[in-house]
């Protein structure tokens, strides 16, 4: 196997900064975004496996909200601190850690009730006293200002970036062209010696990275044309992981209720706006209750209408409780509506998500929210549609 098949995507500055972060930290907390998906879970758990493989023994994974059942088998998932279940433990782990690593996350706002504590860490940011490391593939304000942070919106997944960091750390060549590298190497020689592939390339690490890469590309069916992704997959497979079994555990894991919910959405709830090549599906709380819908059960419904010829935009809306930390923002609303936007090709949806629905995201996959019922949110969307959706 050729373990040299990648380019050095991360800059020397980023690699050095990561080394300084990791070398100086005794306790490390890894956090990812609320409603964690396969990439959030995969990238954050992989980071822990990597850190443990290089000798860091005080590493904690935190998730702000629950994760779906079809990800609960991931190696290490059983020891994650879930903030909704253990708010005090989550708060303490995040606040007291020497180093906080954010994977698939670049803004302190996307961690539900933990936002104020994470915001403190962002506000106190000081590259000379590294206590915060971001590894993300979203646009991130802090990463724009601080080039030592790792944020690449052109990467298909945060998991790929975690892999690249681990891989580059094992390749001293990627950090040798810096003036002060000798000094850093002197201070961190012990830890650098342990950054070795394939030692850190364990089956658990590989399973988590593969899961994140697979889920954020729809099993390598979109955002998946960069050749190096497949070099990474090839390296992961050398650990003996079974990628077909991972697919099976993630994608063939629906409950009967969830299958029926999908049928209901498509048959009864999908509205088509042919002029705008747009499909809209909405679900209220009563309907979700009827199908016993749990967190994660709604994942992927937004993608279904994209399989229709000539549908280029798909929007999925579902009602949600307003969490206590958002009550002051809610302006008296009784419920909020969570919205997913998807599009195909050169048809951005992030501007709509940002301007009309307090959200944002990638060009073809964004999200947002609306304080009000799903019917009110749908009405607003239909009003906004002509401004944002292309007719061709
Ligand atoms: P999903 O529809 O799967 O919940 O989210 C798709 C993408 O949209 C996420 O990967 C994330 O980049 C973005 N996103 C979702 N919800 C929000 C939100 O409330 N705010 C922002 N800024 N981005 C979001
Ligand atoms: Mn992601």
Encode pLDDT of 219-276 as tens digits: 999 889 999 999 999 999 999 999 999 999 999 998 899 999 999 999 999 999 999 9
Final residue before a domain boundary, out of 248, 281, 309 = 248
User: HSE of 151 in the Cβ direction (CA atoms, 13 Å)?
Assistant: 20
- The pLDDT, as a whole number, for residue 336 is 95
Domain identity same for 222 and 339: no
* pLDDT (0 to 100) of residue 55: 83
Task: Point out the least confidently predicted range of 88-92, 118-122, 168-172, 380-384.
Answer: 168-172
Is residue 3, in this structure, part of any structural domain at all? no
Among 248, 280, 309, where does a domain finish?
248
160 and 69 belong to one structural domain: yes
Tell whether ligand 1 has an atom less than 6 A from the beta carbon of residue 212: no
C-alpha 338 to ligand 2 mean position (Å): 18
Evaluate: CB of 106 within 6 angstroms of ligand 1: no
Question: Residue 327: what pLDDT?
Answer: 82
Residues 208 and 331 occupy one common structural domain: no
Tokens of 386: 């002509």
Give the number of the atom of ligand 1 that is nearest the alpha carbon of residue 357. 19
236, 297: one domain: no
Ligand 1 atom nearest 369 alpha carbon: 19
Which atom belonging to ligand 1 lies closest to the Cα atom of 340? Answer: 2
- For residue 134, being part of any structural domain is answered with yes
Could you tell me if 53 and 157 lie in one domain? yes
Residue 359 CA, closest ligand 1 atom number: 20
Bridging pattern class, strands 313-320 and 336-343: antiparallel
Cβ–ligand 1 distance for 40 under 6 Å, the answer no
Choose one of 227, 248, 269: the last residue of a domain. Answer: 248
The CATH number of residue 108's host domain is 3.90.1640.10
Whether 234 and 177 share a structural domain: yes
Pick from 30, 41, 111, 45: which is nearest to 69 by CA? Answer: 41
pLDDT the model gives residue 190:
56
Q: CB neighbours (10 Å) of residue 227?
A: 7
Instruction: Give the 3-state secondary structure of 120-159.
Output: HHHHCCCCCCCCEEEEECCCCHHHHHCCCCEECCCCCCHH
Judge whether 2 lies within some domain. Answer: no
Residues 74 and 202 in one domain: yes
**Claim to verify: residue 141 and residue 83 sit in the same structural domain:** yes
Q: Give 298-319 pLDDT, tens digit per residue.
A: 888 999 999 999 999 999 999 9
Residue 191 lies in a domain: yes
Dihedral (CA of 209, 210, 212, 217) sign: positive
Q: Report pLDDT digits (tens) over 195-216.
A: 556 677 899 999 999 999 999 9
Domain range for 275: 256-388
6 belongs to a structural domain:
no
Question: Are 361 and 137 contacting, i.e. CB atoms less than 8 angstroms apart?
Answer: no
DSSP secondary structure code for residue 80 in this structure:
P
In a domain, 70, yes or no: yes
**262 shares its domain with 151:** no
Residue nearest atom 23 of ligand 1, based on CA coordinates? 360
Ligand found nearest the CA of 137: 2
- 124 and 168 inside one domain: yes
The total of structural domains in the chain comes to: 2
60 lines ligand 1 (CB under 6 A): no
**How does pLDDT run across 10-52, given as a tens digit for each residue?**
998 999 899 889 988 999 999 999 999 999 999 999 999 999 9
Q: How far is the CA of 119 from the centre of ligand 1 (A)?
A: 18
Q: Do 312 and 239 sit in the same domain of this protein? A: no
Please check whether residues 304 and 222 belong to one and the same domain. Answer: no
Degrees, nearest 5: CA angle 116-121-125 = 140
Give the domain CATH number at 376.
3.10.310.30
Specify if 5 maps to a domain: no
Instruction: Say how far apart CA 305 and CA 134 lie, in whole Å.
Output: 34
Residue at 213 is within a domain: yes
């Amino acid at each position: 196997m050729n373990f040299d098949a990648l380019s050095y995507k991360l800059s020397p500055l980023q690699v050095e900064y990561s080394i300084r972060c990791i070398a100086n930290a005794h306790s490390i907390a890894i956090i990812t975004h609320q409603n964690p998906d396969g990439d959030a879970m995969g990238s954050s758990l992989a980071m822990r496996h990597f850190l443990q493989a290089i000798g860091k023994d005080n590493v904690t994974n935190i998730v702000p909200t629950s994760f779906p059942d079809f990800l609960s088998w991931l190696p290490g998932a059983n020891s994650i601190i879930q903030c909704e279940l253990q708010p005090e433990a989550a708060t303490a782990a995040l606040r007291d850690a020497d180093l906080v690593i954010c994977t698939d996350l670049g803004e302190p706002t996307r961690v539900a009730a933990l936002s104020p504590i994470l915001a403190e860490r962002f506000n106190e940011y000081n590259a000379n006293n590294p206590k915060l490391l971001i590894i993300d593939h979203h646009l991130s304000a802090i990463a724009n200002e601080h080039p030592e942070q790792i944020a690449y919106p052109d990467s298909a997944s945060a998991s790929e970036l975690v892999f690249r960091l681990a891989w580059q750390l094992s390749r001293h060549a990627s950090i040798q062209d810096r003036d002060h590298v000798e000094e850093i190497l002197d201070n961190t020689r012990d830890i650098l010696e342990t950054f070795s592939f394939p030692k850190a390339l364990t089956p658990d690490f590989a399973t988590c990275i593969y899961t994140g890469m697979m889920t954020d590309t729809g099993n390598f069916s979109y955002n998946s044309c960069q050749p190096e992704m497949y070099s990474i997959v090839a390296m992961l497979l050398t650990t003996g992981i079974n990628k077909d079994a991972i697919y099976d555990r993630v994608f063939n894991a629906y409950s009967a209720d969830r299958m029926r919910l999908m049928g209901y959405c498509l048959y009864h709830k999908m509205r088509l706006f042919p002029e705008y090549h747009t499909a809209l599906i909405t679900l209220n709380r009563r309907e979700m209750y009827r199908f016993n819908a749990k967190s994660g059960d709604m994942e992927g419904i937004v993608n279904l209408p994209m399989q229709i010829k000539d549908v280029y935009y798909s929007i999925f809306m579902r009602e949600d409780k307003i969490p206590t930390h958002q009550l002051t923002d809610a302006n008296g609303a009784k419920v909020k509506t969570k919205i997913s936007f998807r599009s195909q090709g050169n048809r951005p949806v992030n501007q709509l998500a940002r301007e009309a629905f307090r959200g944002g995201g990638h060009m073809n996959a964004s999200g947002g929210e609306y304080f009000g019922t799903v019917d009110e949110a749908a009405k607003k969307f239909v009003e906004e549609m002509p401004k944002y959706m292309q007719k061709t």
